[in-house]
Amino acid sequence: MPVKPLTLAAVGCGSRVRTYTKYAALLPDRYQVVAAADPNPARLRLMEALVPAGSLRTFASDRDLFAAGKLADILMIGTQDAYHVQPCIAAMRLGYDVLLEKPIATNFAEVRALELEARRLGRRVMICHVLRYTPFYTTVKSLLESGAIGTIATINAVEGVAPFHQAHSFVRGHWGVVEKSSPMIIAKCCHDLDIISWLADSSCTHVSSFGSLSYFNAANAPAGAPARCTDGCPVAANCFYDAHRYLGDQRHWLQWVFDGGVEADDESVRQWLRTSPWGRCVYHCDNTAVDRQTVNLTFANHITANLTMTAFDSGRSLEIRGTEGVLLGGEAVKRLSGHDIAITRHRDGKTEYHDIKIEEGEFVGHGGGDFGLMNALDHEWQKPNSADMRSSLERSVESHAMGFAAEEARLNGGVVDLTEYRQRG
Ligand SMILES: NC(=O)c1ccc[n+]([C@@H]2O[C@H](COP(=O)([O-])OP(=O)(O)OC[C@H]3O[C@@H](n4cnc5c(N)ncnc54)[C@H](O)[C@@H]3O)[C@@H](O)[C@H]2O)c1
């Protein structure tokens, strides 16, 4: 007998929810997106275009959608960071299970409050830690589980945000001002900490961290640079961060912040740059997010780990050392060897390579993780114990604790005892 498709509703129809909706629409036997809420009518129109004509009920806000009762099995929440907890708790109280964008919340106390409420109500919440569903990290995990490098001793991870991406998202963009969103180590790196937590497969016990915002500030502004690139900057022609690049080789970024911007004519983009945050000089913004941070972690099973987040490299890299060998994976090894993963055995020094295939075109978002998450969602929903979902709330609370504790350690110095921190939260 065919299984009934899972029905999905959405709150916040930005780029994330539309990506999941696009993939859900490719799997109509398994998912139906039936309702969507967003105060921006143009975004609701974009959602309508993704699903069969006439099949989507639309609402001007989460509150209006909630007022209509429970409309679907799962509510996808893709509002901005500071507005995750409130709609998630309201949805759970209405009876929804939830697919919640990361971060769970902008501070750990709210993460804990949400977890307690989910437990009290018996709701299933999955967090969009999409990297757990990528072919790359899934392969790394299974190689480690197969004993390819013996017992893991150390994990070193690098998250190279990339200079223009840093400027777009964490200087000019949504996550530049930590006080209005979440700390960099959560906003960008909750994924990386979550992967470290998954690979270490143990409870983190202590965290320390260093980092700062040392480059994207007024001290590094070229002489005479005005507040906006569009105000006649004398160094625009040689500036890597010149906003006019949105008219050329960096135009693809517009798809996430300027609806229709990729297809718009140049004059419309110029006009947008004159007033939007993305037209500002990167050295003259109100940003507070760090452009470098390192986090040290130790786990109950004695694995030690380090994560370096930097604006000044591109892509994620992993080095995992074990009692039987070394696994190198990601961007750095790819640049040097052309392969995604290299495993070198201590025993004979031999190296074997593994390459990851991601389907071209539609499926590459976040290394295949966006599609991977949607492709796994209905299977995950069948697991009897919701905590066993690969990206369950329970597992994500653990990696969020690591991240928020790292931020506390960065700001206050010293080492945070995670056992004590979790209880405090
Ligand atoms: N999982 C990932 O890899 C990943 C990647 C990028 C971003 N994110 C996270 O996803 C979230 C969404 O990011 P985005 O880039 O899609 O954001 P976005 O700003 O493009 O979209 C958010 C949408 O929420 C709408 N909204 C605001 N208030 C609302 C309300 N009361 N009711 C309904 N809708 C409302 C806005 O109008 C907007 O369309 C963020 O928290 C972000 O940190 C996750």
Instruction: Say how many Å lie between the CA of residue 109 and the centre of ligand 1.
Output: 21
Verify whether ligand 1 is closer than 6 Å to residue 61 (CB atom): yes
pLDDT at 425: 65
Ligand 1, from 21, 38, 177: best to mutate by most atoms within 8 Å of Cβ?
A: 38
Instruction: Say how many Å lie between the CA of residue 314 and the centre of ligand 1.
Output: 24
Q: What is the DSSP letter of 222?
A: P
**Position 404, amino acid:** F
Verify whether ligand 1 is closer than 6 Å to residue 395 (CB atom): no
Which is the closest atom of ligand 1 to the Cα of 256?
20
Ligand 1, from 101, 106, 111: best to mutate by most atoms within 8 Å of Cβ?
A: 101
CA 24/CA 195 separation, integer angstroms: 25
Verify whether ligand 1 is closer than 6 Å to residue 91 (CB atom): no
| Class in CATH terms, 6-130 | alpha beta
- Which residue is associated with the tokens 């693809």? 252
Verify whether ligand 1 is closer than 6 Å to residue 81 (CB atom): yes
Q: What is the DSSP letter of 166?
A: I
Element (DSSP H or E) covering residue 421: helix 418-424
pLDDT at 424: 81
Residue 277 preceded by cis peptide, ω within 30: no
pTM: 0.96
Structural domain boundaries in the chain: 6-130, 131-216+288-424, 218-279
Instruction: Say how many Å lie between the CA of residue 79 and the centre of ligand 1.
Output: 3
Structural tokens at position 12: 């916040």
C-alpha dist (Å) from residue 372 to 18, 133, 380? 15, 5, 12
Ligand 1, from 11, 13, 15, 16: best to mutate by most atoms within 8 Å of Cβ?
A: 16
Instruction: Say how many Å lie between the CA of residue 18 and the centre of ligand 1.
Output: 10
Verify whether ligand 1 is closer than 6 Å to residue 370 (CB atom): no
Instruction: Say how many Å lie between the CA of residue 16 and the centre of ligand 1.
Output: 6
Phi and psi of 65, rounded to 5°?
-65, -40
Burial 366-391, CB ≥16 within 10 A → b, else e: bbbbbbbbbbbbbebbeeeebeebbb
Verify whether ligand 1 is closer than 6 Å to residue 253 (CB atom): no
Query: What does pLDDT average to in each consecutive run of 10 residues of the chain (425 residues)?
Result: 86 97 96 98 97 98 98 98 97 98 97 98 98 96 98 98 98 96 96 98 98 98 97 96 97 94 96 98 98 98 98 96 97 94 98 87 76 97 97 98 98 97 85
CATH architecture of the domain formed by 131-216+288-424: 2-Layer Sandwich (3.30)
Verify whether ligand 1 is closer than 6 Å to residue 151 (CB atom): no
Element (DSSP H or E) covering residue 286: none
**Position 217, amino acid:** N
Sheet of 97-100, strand order: 57-59, 31-37, 6-11, 74-77, 97-100, 125-127
Q: What is the number of other CB atoms lying within 10 angstroms of the CB of residue 300?
A: 12
Which is the closest atom of ligand 1 to the Cα of 40?
37
Instruction: Say how many Å lie between the CA of residue 357 and the centre of ligand 1.
Output: 29
Instruction: Say how many Å lie between the CA of residue 300 and the centre of ligand 1.
Output: 35
CB 169 within 8 A of CB 250: no
CB 381 within 8 A of CB 363: no
CB 64 within 8 A of CB 37: yes
pLDDT at 360: 61
pLDDT at 371: 94
Q: What is the DSSP letter of 278?
A: G
Instruction: Say how many Å lie between the CA of residue 83 and the centre of ligand 1.
Output: 9
Verify whether ligand 1 is closer than 6 Å to residue 369 (CB atom): no
For residue 96, which of 76, 67, 119, 116 has the smallest C-alpha distance?
76
Verify whether ligand 1 is closer than 6 Å to residue 170 (CB atom): no
Q: Do domains 6-130 and 131-216+288-424 have the same CATH topology?
A: no
Residue minimizing CA distance to atom 18 of ligand 1: 14
pLDDT at 288: 98
Phi and psi of 232, rounded to 5°?
75, 55
Verify whether ligand 1 is closer than 6 Å to residue 193 (CB atom): no
Instruction: Say how many Å lie between the CA of residue 34 and the centre of ligand 1.
Output: 19
